[in-house]
């Protein structure tokens, strides 16, 4: 039976907002153990010692090979590939013809004419669509995340080590001093007799390595990591804590995907894309028209990735924005008293504030809350959650430039009105929560140091 296309689903629902606002689609997918101890201690591990995060199951891999793989990627991505040699990785960013975000993913250049694109399925679907409609001499193999894979284990294991003792632990399990590997570069090691590739980076803005290799080697590699000297303080991190790491490093996951509009390319894509690939939409930002939810690369700090040294989808639109993007990505630190009052409303009569399911409190795939200043909307608050290391509830947001200075006072509108029918949304009332603008990345080390280590 042929799956319903997004185009057909839109007709059935009456429009994109109507389709996505009540959609029973989870805010995030982390098909790994929620906690090994407790998420507060697990959050602290990447600051105090060494965190071990299992990334094997929640991301989709698209392996691209052939001489046309790089031209295909260059066609869909805003990034430059001029110096993208084997052994490098980059955050690939894709936009629609009008310059709005499709999404982002991590691209690994594994071998000559062999790449692995890892991340949210929407970007991977977008690349696959353009391969099928174009004349690119390339082939792809897709490995879906473990929540939707038809059968069998992942093709690759993927473990993240991060924290101040990560390097010392790596030296122990590899049997020697570590090479000097630059940020977002790869190296190869031997662990437990297995060849292991490692990407130098860290999801929580701490020094770290992303280790990966064939699934059948994963158990031996994991055993070696867990068997390392206890002085390194290795802590296994579950899905709850892992889901908050981006709030420290400043990466905004799952911004609204710009799928809709009258552009012929997007109409063709909606006919091709199964409706099941679309996520839910939630939060207090409810402009009515779906275009009011769209973001550009500049809105979420991806302007540094945009390179006009090649032709790509959306180039002309981004060139018009490049000299004066109107919004800036920031961190918002929510007022502790207002948060406590919102949580406390659950213990008083009548509808309370929208429940905050700590540590990650967003309740839709694409979560957008109104940010106010002086009684008018000046931005959109995106991903949100609690950081035990900072003892603060924060969100990543994009705000008008004049409100982006650290210390600026704003207000976040928390909750929906009208209340949607998403399973994660109960009867509640909207509340306003004061917030203070802070830098992004929020954590000093992520902002000032870890890319140089």
Same domain for 47 and 167, yes or no, is: yes
Question: What does the alpha-carbon distance between residue 1 and residue 4 come to, in Å, rounded to a whole number?
Answer: 9
Average pLDDT score over residue span 219-241: 97
- The pLDDT value recorded for residue 27 is 85
Does 357 fall in a domain?
A: yes
Q: What's the pLDDT tens digit per position in 17-49? A: 999 999 998 887 788 999 999 999 999 999 999
DSSP β-ladder status, 234-237 and 50-54: parallel
- The pLDDT value recorded for residue 445 is 47
Same domain for 445 and 332, yes or no, is: yes
Q: If pLDDT is split at 50, 70 and 90, which confidence band does 115 have? A: very high
- The pLDDT value recorded for residue 451 is 45
Burial class (CB in 10 A: 0-12, 13-18, 19+), 108: buried
Does 18 fall in a domain?
A: no
Average pLDDT score over residue span 276-291: 95
Percent of the chain with pLDDT over 90: 89
What residue ranges in 338-408 does DSSP mark as E strands? 366-367, 369-373, 376-387, 392-400
Strand order in the sheet with 101-111: 89-95, 101-111, 114-119, 60-65, 139-143
Q: What's the pLDDT tens digit per position in 408-449? A: 999 999 999 999 999 999 999 999 999 999 999 997 744 454
Same domain for 53 and 190, yes or no, is: yes
Question: What does the alpha-carbon distance between residue 244 and residue 445 come to, in Å, rounded to a whole number?
Answer: 16
- The pLDDT value recorded for residue 207 is 72
Decide: 411 and 435 in contact? Cβ < 8 Å. yes
- The pLDDT value recorded for residue 89 is 98
Same domain for 237 and 341, yes or no, is: no
Q: Is 210 annotated as a binding residue?
A: yes
List the one residue out of 12, 21, 35 whose CA is nearest residue 424: 21
Does 96 fall in a domain?
A: no
- The pLDDT value recorded for residue 239 is 96
- The pLDDT value recorded for residue 206 is 67
The Cα-based distances of 395 to 80, 330, 385, 387 in angstroms read: 30, 8, 6, 10
> What does the buried/exposed string (b/e) look like for 24-42 if buried means 16 or more CB atoms within 10 Å of the residue's CB?
ebbbbbbebeeebeebbeb
Average pLDDT score over residue span 327-340: 98
Decide: 330 and 399 in contact? Cβ < 8 Å. yes
Q: What's the pLDDT tens digit per position in 359-394? A: 999 999 999 999 999 999 999 999 999 999 999 999
Report the chain's mean pLDDT, rounded to a whole number. Answer: 95
Out of 209, 225, 249, a domain closes at 249
Same domain for 358 and 245, yes or no, is: no
Question: What does the alpha-carbon distance between residue 171 and residue 37 come to, in Å, rounded to a whole number?
Answer: 26
Q: Which helix (H) or strand (E) holds 47?
A: helix 39-48
Instruction: Say yes or no to pLDDT of 141 above 80.
Output: yes
The Cα-based distances of 156 to 107, 131, 152 in angstroms read: 15, 23, 12
Decide: 256 and 101 in contact? Cβ < 8 Å. yes
Percent of the chain with pLDDT over 70: 96
- The pLDDT value recorded for residue 351 is 95
Average pLDDT score over residue span 248-266: 94
Does 274 fall in a domain?
A: no
List the one residue out of 362, 361, 398 whose CA is nearest residue 378: 398
Domain harbouring 367, CATH code: 2.40.30.110
Instruction: Say yes or no to pLDDT of 1 above 70.
Output: no
Burial class (CB in 10 A: 0-12, 13-18, 19+), 91: middle
Instruction: Say yes or no to pLDDT of 397 above 80.
Output: yes
Query: How many domains does the chain fold into?
Result: 2
Same domain for 351 and 215, yes or no, is: no
Q: What's the pLDDT tens digit per position in 151-197? A: 899 999 999 999 999 999 999 999 999 998 999 999 999 999 999 99
Does 215 fall in a domain?
A: yes
Does 30 fall in a domain?
A: no
Decide: 27 and 363 in contact? Cβ < 8 Å. yes
- The pLDDT value recorded for residue 452 is 45
Least confident of 142-146, 205-209, 264-268, 276-280: 205-209
Segments forming the whole domain that contains residue 180 = 39-58+152-249
- The pLDDT value recorded for residue 202 is 67
Return the percent helix, strand and coil in the chain, to nearest 5.
30, 30, 40
Domain harbouring 202, CATH code: 3.30.1360.120
Does 33 fall in a domain?
A: no
Same domain for 331 and 217, yes or no, is: no
- Residues comprising the chain, all counted: 453
DSSP β-ladder status, 60-65 and 208-214: unpaired
- The pLDDT value recorded for residue 443 is 79
Average pLDDT score over residue span 56-67: 97
Does 383 fall in a domain?
A: yes
Out of 229, 249, 269, a domain closes at 249
Q: If pLDDT is split at 50, 70 and 90, which confidence band does 2 have? A: confident
Burial class (CB in 10 A: 0-12, 13-18, 19+), 71: middle
pTM to 2 decimal places: 0.95
Same domain for 236 and 338, yes or no, is: no
Average pLDDT score over residue span 330-347: 98
Out of 249, 265, 295, a domain closes at 249
């Amino acid at each position: 039976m042929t799956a319903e296309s997004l185009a057909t689903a839109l007709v059935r629902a009456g429009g994109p907002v109507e389709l996505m606002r009540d959609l029973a689609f989870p805010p995030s997918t982390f098909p790994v153990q929620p906690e090994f101890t407790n998420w507060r201690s697990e959050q602290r591990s990447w600051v105090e010692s060494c965190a071990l995060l299992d990334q094997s199951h929640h991301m989709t891999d698209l392996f691209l090979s052939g001489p046309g793989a790089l031209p295909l990627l260059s066609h869909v991505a805003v990034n430059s590939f001029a110096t993208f040699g084997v052994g490098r990785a980059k955050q690939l960013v894709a936009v629609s013809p009008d310059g709005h975000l499709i999404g982002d993913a991590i691209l690994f250049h594994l071998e000559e004419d062999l790449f692995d694109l890892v991340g949210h399925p929407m970007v991977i679907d977008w690349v696959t669509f353009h391969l099928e409609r174009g004349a690119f001499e390339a082939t792809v193999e897709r490995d879906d995340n473990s929540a939707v894979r038809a059968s069998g284990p992942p093709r690759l294991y993927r473990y993240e080590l991060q924290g101040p003792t990560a390097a010392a632990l790596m030296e122990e399990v590899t049997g020697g001093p570590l090479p000097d590997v630059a940020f977002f570069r790869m190296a190869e090691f031997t662990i437990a007799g297995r060849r292991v590739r490692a990407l130098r980076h860290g999801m929580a803005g701490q020094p770290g390595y992303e280790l990966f290799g064939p699934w059948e080697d994963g158990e031996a590699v994991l055993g070696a990591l867990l068997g390392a000297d206890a002085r390194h303080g290795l802590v296994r991190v579950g899905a709850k804590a892992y889901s908050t790491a981006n709030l420290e490093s400043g990466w905004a996951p799952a911004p609204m995907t710009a799928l809709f509009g009258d552009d012929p390319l997007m109409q063709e894509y909606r006919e091709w894309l199964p409706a099941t690939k679309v996520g839910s939409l939630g939060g207090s930002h409810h402009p009515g028209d779906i275009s009011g939810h769209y973001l550009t690369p500049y809105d979420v700090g991806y302007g540094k990735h945009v390179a006009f040294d090649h032709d790509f989808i959306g180039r002309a639109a981004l060139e018009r924005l490049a000299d004066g993007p109107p919004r800036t990505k920031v961190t918002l630190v929510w007022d502790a008293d207002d948060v406590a009052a919102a949580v406390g409303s659950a213990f008083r009569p009548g509808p309370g504030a929208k429940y905050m399911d700590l540590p990650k409190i967003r309740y839709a795939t694409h979560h957008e809350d109104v940010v106010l200043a002086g009684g008018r909307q000046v931005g959109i608050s995106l991903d949100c959650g609690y950081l035990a290391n900072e003892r603060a509830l924060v969100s990543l947001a994009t705000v008008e430039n004049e409100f982006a200075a650290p210390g600026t006072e704003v207000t976040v509108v928390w909750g929906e009105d009208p209340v949607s029918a998403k399973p994660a949304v109960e009867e509640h009332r909207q509340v306003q929560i004061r917030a203070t603008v802070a830098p992004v990345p929020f954590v000093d080390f992520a902002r000032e140091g870890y890319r140089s280590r």
